[in-house]
């Protein structure tokens, strides 16, 4: 039986992809956690929704993305996110696609 899980990924300017814990991202979005490393910059986030079997991803049903902007203290500015629909906009032959 497959379970649906959500993963949050941060794409850094250096080309790194970092998985952010769901609870941590919820605190950041709620303004309860400040991330000084994100001060005064846009942060590219992808939300991947995957079905798991025995804790391994078997199917990715949806990938959404957003660009969040942070103020000079490292707090997210929630009135400015720019949302993306990766499944609609991503060409299957795209070289940068993430292979689960």
**Domain-wise residue ranges, the chain:** 3-89
DSSP letter string over the chain?
Answer: --EEEEEEEEE-TTS-EEEE-HHHHHHHHHTSS--GGGTTSEEEEEEEEEEEETTEEEEEEEEEEEEEEE-TTS-EEEEEEEEEEHHHH--TT-TT----
Give, for all 100 residues of the chain, the pLDDT tens digit. 456 678 888 887 777 888 898 899 999 988 899 999 999 988 888 888 888 888 787 887 778 888 888 999 999 987 766 666 655 555 554 555 554 4
Q: Tell me how many degrees the CA angle 73-7-88 measures, rounded to the nearest 5.
A: 100
The pTM of the full predicted model, rounded to 2 decimals, is 0.69
What pLDDT does residue 100 have?
A: 40
17-20, strands of its sheet edge to edge: 17-20, 3-11, 42-53, 56-70, 76-85
What pLDDT does residue 63 have?
A: 80
């Amino acid at each position: 039986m497959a379970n649906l899980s959500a993963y949050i990924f941060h794409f850094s300017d250096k080309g790194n992809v970092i998985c952010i814990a769901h609870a941590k991202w919820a605190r950041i979005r709620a303004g309860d956690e400040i991330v000084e490393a994100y001060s005064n910059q846009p942060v590219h986030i992808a939300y991947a929704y995957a079905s798991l079997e025995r804790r391994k991803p078997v199917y990715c049903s949806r990938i959404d993305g957003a660009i969040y902007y942070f103020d000079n203290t490292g707090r997210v500015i929630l009135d400015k996110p720019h949302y993306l629909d990766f499944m609609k906009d991503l060409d299957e032959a795209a070289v940068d696609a993430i292979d689960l």
